[in-house]
Amino acid sequence: MKKEGSRYRLSPSDLVNFTRSEFITWMDRYACERPGEIHPDPDSEEQRIIQDKGIEHEQAFLDSLEAQGRRVCDLSNFRGTPEPTLDAMRRGEEIIYQGYLVNGEFAGYPDFLVRVESPSGLGAWSYEPWDTKLARHPKPYFLIQLCCYAEMLELARACGRSTCGWSWGGPMPNQRCSARMIFSTITVS
C-alpha cells in the first residue's frame, strides 16, 4: 500500500492481506497516514529464508525459460511506471518479466506476462499473468493475486480469454486455468 496524494495505491498483495486479516490492512493504512509512528515487525529468520528460497525459485524459472530459447523482456529496472510494460505488450514480446500493471487504485508486478495467441486489443495476441510460488499446492490467496493481474490485463485490453498460470515449487508441472473460473469459485465460496 502506498499513499499518492490523498489516494491509496493498492497491490494484489494488499487485497490478499485484507482477506487474511483486516487488521493488516488497517495497520498498513495507519503507517501510510502517520509515517514514523509505527514500524512493521522485522522479518524473522524463517521468513527471510522462505523469501530467499522464493527468489531462487523465481530465478530458476526465469533461467529455465531462457534455456528453452524463450525471449524474455526484463522490465525489473522499470519500477512504478506502466509505460514500458504497455510498450512491450504492444510490441508482442514473448515473455515479460516483472512488468508493472495499473488499474485505477490497483497496481502490481506479476512475475511474468506470457504471450498467448488469442486476439485482444493488442492484435492477434494477448497476455496471461504467470506467478512463481514456492508452495507445492495452490493456495486461495495465490489465485486471488492472479485474478487481480488478469483483471488488470483485461482492462488494459491485453487479455483475450482471461487465463493465468503458475509454476509451483514442488514436482507439479506448470499449470494454467481460467481466471474467471477461479474468481467465480472464490466469490461463491
Instruction: Assess whether 24 and 75 both reside in one domain.
Output: no
- pLDDT for res 186: 45
Determine which helix (DSSP H) or strand (DSSP E) holds 19, and give its type and residue range.
helix 12-20
- Say if 44 falls within a structural domain: no
CA distance 14 to 59: 24
**Is residue 69 located within the same domain as residue 150?**
yes
What is the tens place of the pLDDT at every residue in 12-41? 899 888 988 999 989 999 998 898 998 888
The pLDDT, as a whole number, for residue 1 is 87
Residue 106: domain span: 55-188
pTM of the model: 0.83
Are 64 and 130 found together in one domain?
yes
Shared domain for 96 and 163, answered yes or no, is yes
- Helix, strand, or coil (residue 9): strand
Phi, psi at 176, each rounded to 5°: -135, 155
Tens of pLDDT along 90-126? 999 999 999 999 988 889 999 999 998 888 888 899 8
For residue 147, the surrounding DSSP H or E stretch is helix 140-155
HSE of 132 in the Cβ direction (CA atoms, 13 Å)? 20
Enter the C-alpha cell of residue 19.
Answer: 482477506
Determine contact, residues 65/57, Cβ cutoff 8 Å: no
